Chain A
């Protein structure tokens, strides 16, 4: 496989717009996950004077609120660095904004929808993720809003392929690590998903879903695991008393997991040659913690790091087995677990490379966890029934 930039062939699938150029604003796509709500908002920049005049005040205020702030309430965040500028969607030009907030804040969000009289805007709110089902009734009864519920895996794949096609403001969306087995010379390299199929898509949110994708519409969920981002954060909170993902990662970045994990060399004094296991391989995650003395002297940072390494390695191991079973060489990792998490991305890149003896390649995408929401937005622009 050649991942070099030079060979890039730009795929362009024009969006199939059934509603001609005038799909009424606002354009939102929403992905309500177990931990985080991901919201994408299309801000049109080609508004004509005529349109401007007709635009209701409500709509203007929403646009202003979203685009002039980078934080919303205590927990809402706009990932400004991810913004896709001058994007053409459905014949309109605009900027795509990426916003996230905790799923716990969902009731407040719905409340806001009611206060802002969102239902008067005659738009369809396209939502995916489990929350689209869970909160459907709340949207209806509290805010008089009908959700258009969409399958999360469909949205994930559509959104991912779309963002990869349009690129990241002139740069590729996709990247990999060169020399993943060598911490010194391991570097992030951009690339494109020239011919993306087949790919094993590993979506790491609160839990993990693993999909084998053969085309935009042909895919299957191979398996999943409950040991995902939610497990990392949940265990870290219990073990260290931290409260946020950022805090947990910050601690993990300073810790050393070998104080917590038992390595092969801790047991065999070196490599276990009979089975070709390196001394530095982890034999037992948290294995040192069986001893009370070691439990009493361990630091929170080490515990956070060990938790991160354990979860990441496990995902890598399952993903690798699936790739071998499905005979797919390209493994694409997405999901918000990978946000600001270079420890995990590098570890996954290393694990894929090392255990497959270079056969498998781990690929990552800049917009990690937002593809479901993008996919939901695309569905909005596709829908035929006009409200």
Chain B
């Protein structure tokens, strides 16, 4: 039923080694800035949550005063590194045996004296109340468990894109992550603690326990311990994973000799759990009994969940509680049961951070005055442990796990992130082109690629801070951290949700930030921008001299060339994906109302590729919204840099100047700091501008944004995706060669257009 009391401590403190295997300051990170604590104490695991502010360096650009330009240098703008304070949520999970050690550590390092209260939840909270109050000198304030659980669940579903997954035991990857529906409500949460609670969640504050069952994790544990004389829950699960239930259960074929055809009941179906054990003259193995018990309980819970889902007409059913908590065995049997009872209509969904829900919720209850829900949060890959398979068969690292600490860090994002309003179907939008969790060959290739590239990244990081002697040391730490992440992902590709080229790139950025390399490319970008700017007027002039039709082609080539290293010639048409003719036809028609242009690199790309293209659009009477990254990633142009560049170009180019003046050319930030692009997590302001200006064309350029991500994205307006494939493996995958060109112009079905766009590779 409602509670989640996991165990008596007698069973969890058995032979626990009380030493902590990691240096505590790497677990309780940034404790000196911590304020506001919450704790969720279950039967065997404790989850601690706190809020802290993190100071880290950010690269900023600033324009030189025009009149001092010559005096300063020939550089375009000034780069400075500033300290910035951002908010971070820390969640740490450890075994109850460590609770005293941890409280001592926290007490010794807690600087902030404003904190007076610690929010607590979980069945074990009352047992440790006295200890916490004595050790920390904080008043323990108890919060309702289920309320915390639901709050936590809403939070992770809203802020972590690949939070929910479907479990498939025999698939190439055990975990199949789901795109979270933009509207997370309503859903059913089936919490399997010692009993089962079935809760219908309709909105942030509205939820109801619609049912439950007393047959839950406690039944498996209690009855299992009686039957097998095995004390620990984990051991019982291990026994179960080795057992054969058919020797204990009475199957349909035991009664019928085969299947019960007229009802469609197969012979292997369990007719009566433990039906064969009603005999005195037979011994049953522990493994077999444990397996039978596991099936009995999982099937029963699955059946009830389905009955409730059907009654309330809900299709999203999340399972949690200590019975599930990442155990492949129980996830498998629950999944099986749900498939059986709903004939595949409902999928059993599990959550990556299921274990943290109570702690997150308790924390949020305590932080209500700060209204954390008004912000968007993002998982910090550098500081989070990621999901592990705990199956001993599947994961040899399991042994090492016991006694270690699991962490989750969430960074508060500068802005609220929302869907691009122009997505055709936000609920089915998947940014990434290839899911590396499901594609073993691709995974191997990219993990290798990123490992190979690591030396170069480290070198560039060091080079970006030439005056700081300890940069080398930090860069080395970065290398270790990122290499470790790559190794983890090799064993556990599902650790951070779907593994994609984007997530690998983002993880690298997070790790660089972690070690204060906020923008390793800043100087390179500055130099390249500077050089490119000198050619701008010449480039525009030569374009002006071309005929209209020649110019259109030259503009496209310009964008593509900007994507290339200068030494490589642009591929001859027909390109790998080539709908240029349709695009040209379209241009002969009426101008677009407004184009949203997601830009890519600094230097030649933005200045000599994108800007002339923008100029042409403006001249046609199309408004342009230029969307660039909020924070740095590789050599991508940031919003800060683009502001300055545009100003400088405007000074040379009356068309751009007029565009800015008349507000027909707008610069917005995307809200992202990634070399890729997730159209479901964009700055709210961008979404607003897009809507206000009635945007009817979206242009996405570059490999990160148009190929690794969004290659298959379906938009509700016309779209143009342009990129050169600069990776021979990927080119090969797409059926082309290195430096093949993708020019994908699409018109959504049903929209009037001059010509239907051919989308197939030529």
Q: Give Cα A308–Cα B748 distance, bound, in whole angstroms.
A: 62
Does A1 reach chain B (CB closer than 8 Å)? Answer: no
Taking A33-B255, A226-B296, A291-B8 as contacts, is the C-beta distance between A274 and B1 under 8 angstroms? no
Is B296 touching A283 in the complex (CB atoms < 8 A)?
A: no
B218 CB to closest chain A CB, in angstroms? 3
Which residues of B sit under 8 angstroms from A250, Cβ to Cβ? none
B735 CB to closest chain A CB, in angstroms? 50
Does B262 reach chain A (CB closer than 8 Å)? Answer: yes
| Chain B at the A interface: SS class | mixed
Is B226 touching A289 in the complex (CB atoms < 8 A)?
A: yes
Does A61 reach chain B (CB closer than 8 Å)? Answer: no
Chain A residues 120 to 143 lying within 8 A of chain B, measured CB to CB, are 129-131, 133-136
Which residues of A sit under 8 angstroms from B5, Cβ to Cβ? 267
| Chain A at the B interface: SS class | helix
Which residues of B sit under 8 angstroms from A321, Cβ to Cβ? 211, 304, 307-308, 311
A134 CB to closest chain B CB, in angstroms? 3
Does B3 reach chain A (CB closer than 8 Å)? Answer: yes
Q: Give Cα A238–Cα B543 distance, bound, in whole angstroms.
A: 88
Closest to B276 in A: A234
Does B227 reach chain A (CB closer than 8 Å)? Answer: yes
Q: Give Cα A149–Cα B275 distance, bound, in whole angstroms.
A: 24
Which residues of A sit under 8 angstroms from B217, Cβ to Cβ? 284
Does A88 reach chain B (CB closer than 8 Å)? Answer: no
Name the contact of A233 in the complex, choosing from B147, B252, B278, B296 (C-beta under 8 A): B278
A379 CB to closest chain B CB, in angstroms? 15
Which residues of B sit under 8 angstroms from A313, Cβ to Cβ? 214
Which residues of B sit under 8 angstroms from A325, Cβ to Cβ? 307, 310-311
Q: Give Cα A314–Cα B303 distance, bound, in whole angstroms.
A: 11
Does A16 reach chain B (CB closer than 8 Å)? Answer: no
Taking A238-B284, A267-B3 as contacts, is the C-beta distance between A226 and B278 under 8 angstroms? no
A268 CB to closest chain B CB, in angstroms? 7
Does B279 reach chain A (CB closer than 8 Å)? Answer: yes
* Interface stretch of the complex, out of B266-274, B417-425, B602-610: B266-274
20 new A-B pairs (CB below 8 Å) besides A230-B250, A230-B275?
A35-B278, A130-B257, A130-B271, A136-B257, A205-B272, A206-B250, A221-B263, A226-B296, A226-B299, A228-B272, A231-B273, A231-B296, A235-B274, A237-B279, A264-B3, A277-B1, A291-B11, A292-B10, A314-B300, A318-B307
Is A238 touching B275 in the complex (CB atoms < 8 A)?
A: no
Which residues of B sit under 8 angstroms from A322, Cβ to Cβ? 307
A247 CB to closest chain B CB, in angstroms? 10
Taking A277-B1, A317-B213 as contacts, is the C-beta distance between A134 and B257 under 8 angstroms? yes
As a 0/1 sequence over residues 283 to 303 of chain A, the CB contacts with chain B under 8 angstroms (1 = contact) are 111111111110100000001
Taking A34-B254, A295-B225 as contacts, is the C-beta distance between A284 and B274 under 8 angstroms? no
Chain A residues 203 to 251 lying within 8 A of chain B, measured CB to CB, are 205-207, 221, 223, 225-231, 233-239, 241, 243
Is A234 touching B273 in the complex (CB atoms < 8 A)?
A: yes
Is B144 touching A227 in the complex (CB atoms < 8 A)?
A: no
Interface residues on A, range: 35 or more
Is B304 touching A235 in the complex (CB atoms < 8 A)?
A: no
As a 0/1 sequence over residues 358 to 374 of chain B, the CB contacts with chain A under 8 angstroms (1 = contact) are 00000000000000000
Name the contact of A226 in the complex, choosing from B8, B213, B271, B304 (C-beta under 8 A): B271
User: Could you write out 7 A-B pairs with CB less than 8 Å apart?
Assistant: A34-B255, A206-B250, A267-B3, A272-B1, A277-B209, A285-B218, A314-B300
Chain B residues 214 to 232 lying within 8 A of chain A, measured CB to CB, are 214-219, 221-223, 225-227, 231
Taking A227-B296, A230-B274, A313-B214 as contacts, is the C-beta distance between A291 and B254 under 8 angstroms? no
Chain A residues 91 to 144 lying within 8 A of chain B, measured CB to CB, are 129-131, 133-136
Does B341 reach chain A (CB closer than 8 Å)? Answer: yes
As a 0/1 sequence over residues 42 to 62 of chain B, the CB contacts with chain A under 8 angstroms (1 = contact) are 000000000000000000000
Q: Give Cα A35–Cα B278 distance, bound, in whole angstroms.
A: 9
Name the contact of A241 in the complex, choosing from B194, B209, B280 (C-beta under 8 A): B280
Interface centre among A227, A229, A243 (most CB of B within 10 A): A227
Is B219 touching A285 in the complex (CB atoms < 8 A)?
A: yes
Which residues of B sit under 8 angstroms from A236, Cβ to Cβ? 278
Chain B residues 120 to 149 lying within 8 A of chain A, measured CB to CB, are 123, 144, 146-147
B713 CB to closest chain A CB, in angstroms? 40
Which residues of B sit under 8 angstroms from A235, Cβ to Cβ? 223, 274, 277
Is B277 touching A284 in the complex (CB atoms < 8 A)?
A: no
Is A234 touching B194 in the complex (CB atoms < 8 A)?
A: no
Closest to B341 in A: A223
Is B255 touching A317 in the complex (CB atoms < 8 A)?
A: no
Q: Give Cα A275–Cα B197 distance, bound, in whole angstroms.
A: 10
A348 CB to closest chain B CB, in angstroms? 15
Closest to A355 in B: B211
Does A345 reach chain B (CB closer than 8 Å)? Answer: no
Which residues of B sit under 8 angstroms from A291, Cβ to Cβ? 8, 10-11
Q: Give Cα A272–Cα B212 distance, bound, in whole angstroms.
A: 13
Q: Give Cα A291–Cα B7 distance, bound, in whole angstroms.
A: 8
Closest to B126 in A: A269
Is B273 touching A230 in the complex (CB atoms < 8 A)?
A: yes
Closest to A34 in B: B255
Does B161 reach chain A (CB closer than 8 Å)? Answer: no
Q: Give Cα A131–Cα B255 distance, bound, in whole angstroms.
A: 6
Closest to A267 in B: B3
Closest to B193 in A: A284
Q: Give Cα A268–Cα B2 distance, bound, in whole angstroms.
A: 10
Interface residues of B, count at CB 8 A: 67
Which residues of A sit under 8 angstroms from B255, Cβ to Cβ? 33-34, 129-131, 134, 206
Chain B residues 66 to 102 lying within 8 A of chain A, measured CB to CB, are none
Instruction: Name the 5 nearest CB pairs between A and B, nearest first.
Output: A289-B222, A234-B274, A130-B255, A230-B272, A230-B275
Name the contact of A34 in the complex, choosing from B10, B221, B250 (C-beta under 8 A): B250
Is B221 touching A290 in the complex (CB atoms < 8 A)?
A: yes
Which residues of B sit under 8 angstroms from A205, Cβ to Cβ? 272
Which residues of B sit under 8 angstroms from A131, Cβ to Cβ? 255-256
Q: Give Cα A226–Cα B217 distance, bound, in whole angstroms.
A: 18
Does A261 reach chain B (CB closer than 8 Å)? Answer: yes
Interface centre among A131, A241, A272, A287 (most CB of B within 10 A): A287
Is A239 touching B226 in the complex (CB atoms < 8 A)?
A: yes
Q: Give Cα A267–Cα B146 distance, bound, in whole angstroms.
A: 14
Does B195 reach chain A (CB closer than 8 Å)? Answer: yes
Q: Give Cα A65–Cα B278 distance, bound, in whole angstroms.
A: 30
Does A367 reach chain B (CB closer than 8 Å)? Answer: no
Which residues of A sit under 8 angstroms from B231, Cβ to Cβ? 292
Chain A residues 243 to 281 lying within 8 A of chain B, measured CB to CB, are 243, 260-262, 264, 267-268, 272, 274-275, 277, 281
Does A146 reach chain B (CB closer than 8 Å)? Answer: no
Does A192 reach chain B (CB closer than 8 Å)? Answer: no
Which residues of B sit under 8 angstroms from A352, Cβ to Cβ? none
Chain B residues 180 to 195 lying within 8 A of chain A, measured CB to CB, are 193-195
Does B548 reach chain A (CB closer than 8 Å)? Answer: no
Taking A268-B3, A284-B1 as contacts, is the C-beta distance between A226 and B273 under 8 angstroms? yes
Q: Give Cα A260–Cα B218 distance, bound, in whole angstroms.
A: 11
Q: Give Cα A50–Cα B225 distance, bound, in whole angstroms.
A: 68
Which residues of A sit under 8 angstroms from B260, Cβ to Cβ? 130
Is B194 touching A290 in the complex (CB atoms < 8 A)?
A: yes
Does A353 reach chain B (CB closer than 8 Å)? Answer: no
Is B3 touching A130 in the complex (CB atoms < 8 A)?
A: no
Is B227 touching A239 in the complex (CB atoms < 8 A)?
A: yes
Is B147 touching A230 in the complex (CB atoms < 8 A)?
A: no
Is B272 touching A234 in the complex (CB atoms < 8 A)?
A: yes
Does B676 reach chain A (CB closer than 8 Å)? Answer: no
Does B396 reach chain A (CB closer than 8 Å)? Answer: no
Closest to B275 in A: A230
Closest to B215 in A: A285
Closest to A314 in B: B215
B53 CB to closest chain A CB, in angstroms? 34
Interface centre among A234, A284, A291 (most CB of B within 10 A): A284
Name the contact of B219 in the complex, choosing from A226, A272, A287, A303 (C-beta under 8 A): A287
Closest to B249 in A: A226
Does A282 reach chain B (CB closer than 8 Å)? Answer: yes
Is B123 touching A289 in the complex (CB atoms < 8 A)?
A: no
Is B214 touching A283 in the complex (CB atoms < 8 A)?
A: yes
